[in-house]
Amino acid sequence: MLNDPSLLGVFYTVVNERSFTRAAEKLFRTQPAVSLAVQRLEAEVGEPLLDRSGRDLFLTEAGKLVFEAARQQENVQRSLANQLGELKNKAAGRLSIGANESMTLYLLPHLSRFRRAYPKVKLVVQRSRSGEIPDRLLAGDVDYGVISYRVDDERFHTQGLYTDHLAFVVSPTHKLAKRGTVAIKELGKETFIAHNVASPYRDAVLKAFQQAKVPLNMDIEMPTVESIRRMVQADEGVAFLPRMCVDQDIRQGVLKEVQVKELRLERKIYLVSVAKRPMSHAAKAFLELVGKEN
């Protein structure tokens, strides 16, 4: 093992230039300094590396082996410099984001634009429950989290990503499908298909029905937004779902949104990160992109 790997670089340049003089000029060093560096390398190897008997420089057998190692080192350094340059220019790297099923939908437009701008950045969206995201951020598992509540903790930076609302949806064949609005008191006999994950918005719906003294019949609870959508489409019940999650269904006519007069719940979506942690170039680029779009 060489004590000074930089000697390989000097040797590589001497062989490539076929001259100590030209190598010294390229390396911005004196010729005696370059000669001394090659001599030190030969002393470390314990073999002569160059045949200096003629006008031209020729590699000895040991020199050929050492030159191949020097060439590989130069290639690695060049590749590293290129990769670091790409990273600095936000053209490469990795971006990791934690989000639950429904939050991922709010990311899609941003991710599409980011991929077009930075196609070499590897994107990883990790499925995470909203309540776990602050801990995952602090642990360094993800660069950003997407959540529907503001984290009241100075360790985190929170930025608005999207403003949505909870939509009351029914199937196209439901008796309320042709109504533009409905009063909350008319919903006491409906079967609601609920998401069995606690959230501030679920609590807000429960509170609204309690205040109106209207029963909320959550006879069916499902684990995913997708399963709720499908059951409502099949007219197995009605549901409150984020508008973003059902926007395409409503536009295609497989679900209908009906306004509930007494219940208009705005849903703010936030992009959250650790406040004082240095960001990667890819993470900074994503934040810049989101900032321009909001």
Q: Which amino acid is at 121?
A: V
Q: Are residues 261 and 276 in the same domain?
A: no
For 97-126, letters b (16+ CB in 10 Å) and e give: bbbbebbbbbbeebbeebeeebeebeeebe
Q: How far apart are CA 149 and CA 133, in angstroms?
A: 11
Q: Are residues 134 and 218 in the same domain?
A: no
Residue 267 has a pLDDT of 82
The terminus-to-terminus CA distance of the chain in angstroms comes to 55
DSSP state of 278: P
Instruction: Output the domain CATH number for residue 144.
Output: 3.40.190.10
Q: Are residues 175 and 100 in the same domain?
A: no
**DSSP letters spanning 2-46:** -S-THHHHHHHHHHHHT-HHHHHHHHTS-HHHHHHHHHHHHHHHT
Domain termination residue (choose one: 88, 109, 135) = 88
Domain termination residue (choose one: 49, 66, 88) = 88
Q: What is the dihedral of CA 161, 273, 141, 113, to 10 degrees?
A: 40
244, part of any domain? yes
Residues of the chain with pLDDT under 50: none
Tens digits of residue pLDDT in 37-60 = 899 988 888 989 888 877 778 888
1, part of any domain? no
The overall pTM is greater than 0.75: no
Q: Are residues 216 and 75 in the same domain?
A: no
- Domain with 18, as residue range(s), is 6-88
Q: Are residues 196 and 62 in the same domain?
A: no
Domain termination residue (choose one: 60, 88, 116) = 88
